[in-house]
């Protein structure tokens, strides 16, 4: 299966269990690995035979900057669901990193990564 990758997308959201996270918000990083048959696009050189990268970015942005979720797990699931609903993908691997969760210590971030298939959402 062919893949389309997005790396290091950055958005500002208000997700988290604690009040300050919901009130102040914070940055979230998103990486994608999208499975799709690209043979037609490779032959035709036509955008309609693939997915529009700007539309994928906008879809993820709307999820991360939209409705508030307590858990990054829920946010990651919703990103996958929206991508698989809106685009002709067979599978979406989504990684959401929360660079500054309220944990005492030194680290670069905490991330959730999941792989979902179209059939996981009964589309």
CATH number at 3-121: 3.30.1130.10
pLDDT band at 12 (very low <50, low <70, confident <90, very high): very high
Starting at the earlier edge strand, list the strands of the sheet with 91-98.
3-13, 26-35, 91-98, 110-117
* Whether residue 123 has pLDDT greater than 80: no
pLDDT over 70 at 83, yes or no: yes
Residues marked active site are found at 98
Its pTM stands at 0.94
Domain locations in the chain as residue ranges: 3-121
The token pair at 64 is 């991360």
Rounded to whole angstroms, the Cα distance separating 101 from 108 reads 10
pLDDT in tens, 14-32: 999 988 888 899 999 999 9
């Amino acid at each position: 299966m062919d893949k389309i990758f997005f790396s290091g997308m950055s958005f500002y959201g208000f997700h988290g269990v604690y009040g300050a996270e919901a009130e102040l918000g914070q940055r979230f990083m998103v990486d994608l690995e999208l499975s799709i048959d690209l043979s037609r696009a490779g032959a035709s050189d036509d955008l309609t035979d693939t997915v529009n990268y700007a539309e994928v970015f906008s879809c993820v942005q709307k999820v991360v900057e939209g409705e508030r979720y307590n858990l990054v797990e829920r946010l990651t699931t919703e990103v996958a669901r929206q991508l698989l609903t809106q685009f002709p993908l067979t599978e979406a691997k989504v990684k959401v990193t929360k660079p500054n969760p309220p944990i005492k210590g030194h680290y670069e971030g905490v991330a959730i990564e999941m792989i979902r298939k179209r059939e996981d959402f009964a589309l």
